[in-house]
Amino acid sequence: MAALSGRDVRHGLMVGALYGGAQLSQTVGLEHTSASVSGFVTGSYVVLTPVFSALLLRERIARTGWLAVLLATIGLALLSLNGFSVGRGELLTLICAALYALQIMFLGRWSTPQRALGLSCLQIFAITAICDAAALSDGLTLPSGGGQWAAVLYMAVVAGIAALIGQTWAQAHMTATRAAIVMTLEPVFAAAFAVVFGSEQLTRRMLAGGLLVVAAMYAVELGGRTPREEVIPDPAARS
């Protein structure tokens, strides 16, 4: 943290605020839409990330990148959707996807191996502050019993802190578009765990969706790395 400049601190708090806002809008949106639709609409960050990168940062997205976006989107639809209508929940979740896309885009621009841990800590601070502030109106309720505490600690440490540190470090080594496509593997893993450890049956639709997401990964890799990914710029030159 001591190595971070004032600008780095602002960047870390900004991307953390985007992530915290995405968490809140997704959670509220889930009150008004199904989990499957929420998963698909949230996954639209895979489309929004390269769009925002092209429009806001003027980054050139290779044709293989757009192909991977298309394959991943179709795969997400097969994994998640069983009917779709647009209402309050879907709109809130779309806002969530846009905030996630912006977080991924800016993190890809600002994260470096030297800054990764510091930026992660700043993001965690911003996310905690935003979520605590949002919870104050209804009051905070502590978990009761060892099972609830274990679940909260797992979500906070493994799915929260460790995942955010891993994302921040990884995005110091790849473009935002590539990172967004990699993260679409989340519903694939969720479906696989549901089949292996749960009671769900493997369906053709589930298999096809997972294969399309994996195909998107291969499309990105076979397309080759862009010059930006081959050489990590001097940290002092990134802003």
Ranges of each domain in the chain: 7-222
Among the ranges 117-126, 173-182, 189-198, 220-229, which has the highest mean pLDDT value? 117-126
CB 89 within 8 A of CB 48: no
Of the chain, the end-to-end C-alpha distance in Å amounts to 17
Residue 157: Cβ within 10 Å count: 11
Name the percent of the chain in helix, strand, coil, to the closest 5. 75, 0, 25
Is residue 144 pLDDT above 90, yes or no?
A: no
Cβ-based burial of 144 (10 A; exposed 0-12, middle 13-18, buried ≥19): exposed
- Segment 110-129 mean pLDDT: 93
Task: Determine the distance from the C-alpha atom of residue 161 to the mean position of all C-alpha atoms in its chain, rounded to a whole number.
Answer: 13
> Tens digits of per-residue pLDDT, 50-106?
999 988 988 888 888 888 889 888 988 888 777 666 788 889 999 999 999 999 999
Maximum distance among all alpha carbons in the chain? 52
Show Cβ contacts of residue 204 under 8 Å, excluding neighbours closer than 6 positions. Answer: none
What pLDDT band is residue 237 in, cutting at 50, 70 and 90? Answer: very low
Percentage of the chain lying above the pLDDT 70 cut = 90
Helical spans, DSSP H, in 162-226: 163-170, 176-183, 185-196, 204-222
CA angle 155, 156, 158 (to 5 degrees): 65
Output the pTM of the full model.
0.82
Rounded Cα–Cα distance for residues 162 and 226 (Å): 28
User: For residue 23, which of 149, 163, 119 has the smallest C-alpha distance?
Assistant: 163
Is residue 117 pLDDT above 70, yes or no?
A: yes
pLDDT at 65: 84
